[in-house]
Structure 1
Amino acid sequence: MSVTLVLGASGGAGATATAVGLANAWAINGSAVVAVDATVGGGDLVDRAADYRVTSTTIESGFPDGDLSVSSSGLQVVGRAWLEATEPDLQRIDWYLRHNSDISLYDFGHRAFGRDSARPLRTDPSAAIVLVVSARPDALSRVRTALQTISLTIGERAVDRTSVVLTHQVPGAPVVDVAELRESLSVRAVSVDEIPYDPHLGAGLTITATELAPRTAAAYERLRERTSNWECGTMSA
């Protein structure tokens, strides 16, 4: 069983959409996948991911004993109670998922990664980290700050298992020099992948894998392969 942690370099980076896209890519590939909303205060992972069957299952409700929300790709989704103050027991959840799924993917947004509840997951040396940043002029500075936070929180070697994902959320020419971004981050052995602008994602509604543009689906598949390579030990460590 492999674990992937998705976090945003800032609010509105597109972390949840990336988590859904990556999880759907795993499900389409034939894996048993569960995506977990680990955001602070409750996010919209279920609303964005479950296009087939939606249940009221949340982390706080003890989801191992109930049905999960499901997407048409076969992805299972568990949410959080909106504005629920209780910290989720991610260690217990991780234990359960390791025995019941092939892939577990946690949407941390941009604030939950450093919380005490996330410690069991972020300190797992086999967990792949996906850092999402919006394609804005300040993308490089936001990525550098986030990578520094990761390094200070769990150690410099954690950066080696981090993939940066640049999300294009508006149509038109990119406002980021991707080649420069890749060159600037190459000294830290960090990869940079892009998710192109897609009207289906831009609508902010439920994401259906089959309605993504072909190049968007291909971008998520490349990201899946990259995180898979880390899990298989073929990336630098």
Structure 2
Amino acid sequence: MILALDAPMVDLRVYQAAGQVVLTGGELYSAPVRPDFFFTYPPFAAVVFAPLGLLRVGPAQAGMVLLNCVLLLFAAWRSWRSIGVRAPWMLVPAVIASAGAAFLIEAVYTNFHDGQINLLLLALVLADMTGPKEGRLRGAGIGIAAGMKLTPLIFVILLVVLGRRRHAAGATAWAAGTALLLFVVLPGPSGRVLVFGRVRQDEPGLPRPDFTPQPVPARNAAQIRRTRTRGHLGVATPRGVGRDRRTRRRRDEDP
């Protein structure tokens, strides 16, 4: 956790840059939001990140580490309570032990090291799934999480499978609400991405065909496109596999 304060936190830098773009009225997707890095989350996430655009790197990193610590403890606390562990003498040690052990998981460590929002999404979904089955806020956690990153929408399907259709409808409505908010906060092409997708690939401001679900370096994205089309990676195409094997064979035969 302390080491995370000195980590590069690349994802957090991208979130800050996206927040600055929102605050200045710029475009999110037509160009990298910071040198060599594209913003590849839904536009609603950029609105949530807007306050980060007002902070310097140091305070932003410290705030992200503190937030992730609170979210990790909350996730552990909510998980233990959901299985019936409620007595303080059992709950407190269990929360501390499980939260500490979670740092051994690569996904948790990376979340701190890179300044990611995955623990925030986890907390939103977990609070929703284990919360009261009735109420106006039912589905809000999943819907807001899906507005920031589309992956949590899978829980809408899970709710339908579990027979909790009203809960699923609520989550869908909240997710749609985050999309409609964009028409007010982010009008124009970037505000239409989540609702209509890529209407035309050549429309300014809309993500290109190489739109990916995580912030990626622009040069790396370009390299991925080339290897997809030419088969330069051994895992890309059968032709690429053969070429890679021949290259290694010639390298081994050279004196």
TM-score in terms of structure 1 length: 0.25
Instruction: Specify which structure has the higher proportion of strand.
Output: 1
Give the number of the structure with larger relative contact order, counting CA–CA contacts within 8 Å between residues 6 or more apart: 1
> Which one has the largest radius of gyration?
2
